[in-house]
Structure 1
């Protein structure tokens, strides 16, 4: 793999971007910053990502912190894509933070969640239900503000027709869906394999932007994430959300957190265009999709406020998946079957300001078990 291809996984303006992340070295995890294409281990100055994000001068600190050079960033990316990965390689850029996620924040994904629910997890029923729901609703849900009078009027009309859903409640109602996606230290990073629960036969990636929020509830930066989704399991019952969402390696984040500064702000996130590319290893299948943050139904800061505040604190900060409008319906294994993953699929999630997150798909029970938790991290701290 040449450097030009490898650096395509980085922000287009990488020379100006403030990138921080985590790397596995022979002696354990390290906190790094990328400056002018060089990876610098700053663990001697600050060895906890949550601590770095909590600093009032986080951006300035990332610009000036001294440390050991690990060389150019391109070999680090290559090491991370190797199978097996070669040290040093990238980890998920977060550490002790909680991993939270928002669901049903786009109109398209709202309809697909309703379809999953009404199909009871049966992919074969999805196509017919999609047509029926579109005809019944008869309007563009993306134009309706959640919690508005218009949204409440639609809710009442759908209730009368017996078509209301718990997913419409969080998609159109005043309260967002915010759930715990994964545990601290359990997310995988760039190049690692993501996991599917072996019981799932209908699933897909969810390409999302992820905010890095400090302990005071302030968004300090952003990165990319794959909120791996098991459509059949959640479709059987929303009470199975934990089984559908939180499995070994089912959460990928990376490659780096880009800190907010004068060049990259929350407005950059609001205008972001996220692309997805799925390439099948066993069948040559290709699927491309996109998620336009301008079509999100709730502002990112509203989602932050619904997550943290007087009602709930996160003393170690949190990572917040903002949701996706990507809902794959392209048939793969047969007419009317829609999309589902095959083992070995390559998933690339990208946006120019954040680079690209690349992972391959495997089964959660076939991947190395998650054993490196908070106590192990504490033991490795320098």
Structure 2
């Protein structure tokens, strides 16, 4: 039995999903596991407010500014200084926290955490611990690899992610393309079931989307009979807006959920997913073989995820929401398009395995 510390930051839901997935599997094998949100765990309220709450505000309210910040942080000359400041402000409390729990392995499921821990190890701290980084998107931001010499293993989403890390100088022996860890029910065999209607699942991700109403409006203009399942998450205002589409058109069966715990079942029922391309959502879709339309996204990492999905021919990017009506109509009338996309998804997801990741962790 080993002791594992899994460390994240609350900037979007995908990081926590990856950490909790690994924690669940490690505990199932009898290991001791502690999961923390770093700045909350060490009581660094100022850093939590500035970085985490600041991220959530900027990413959702001013996405163009977020895109600018993301790109700036991807440049070594800017990132090195900025995140070294974060490390200096937090490392004393981190050392104190780690000395109490005394883990064998520390798993970072966030780029900033990866950079902080790598910087601490570079300076002679954390000599006893192995450091593992989980990259929760399909291309790696510079902050993930800034201190790669001091990271013992990387878990990445695909072979494309692995090649990206190799170009940045990471040793191939450190990189494990087992997919981004998500909830265990998504790894079960796909159980497709049909309800007699072309079914579309519409989601906005953990931070929601201001554009879902526009998407629903365009879906209502499709002439075919549709079943439309909408998941709003914890955004109650969004759910109120979506509820207005229920019973609007007898040819459209619209079902609206708030926070949902059975997304895997919904994906197995659906023919098509309309969603933003967050790392966890993309991985869920790949494992359930459900092709995607992407009409909205955050900038930065989600734009890179979108480009990856388009290159692999498993998603369609819609730059203008007005085009959704025609695109969905085409997909209904030409089912071979979705069939091919599903085959491509199956090829990508064949190597996804949390169990393989756990085997690596237990043998570090």
Question: Normalising by structure 1, what TM-score?
Answer: 0.24
What's the TM-score once normalised by structure 2's chain length? 0.25
Higher relative contact order (CA 8 A, sep 6+): 1
More helix per residue: 1 or 2?
2
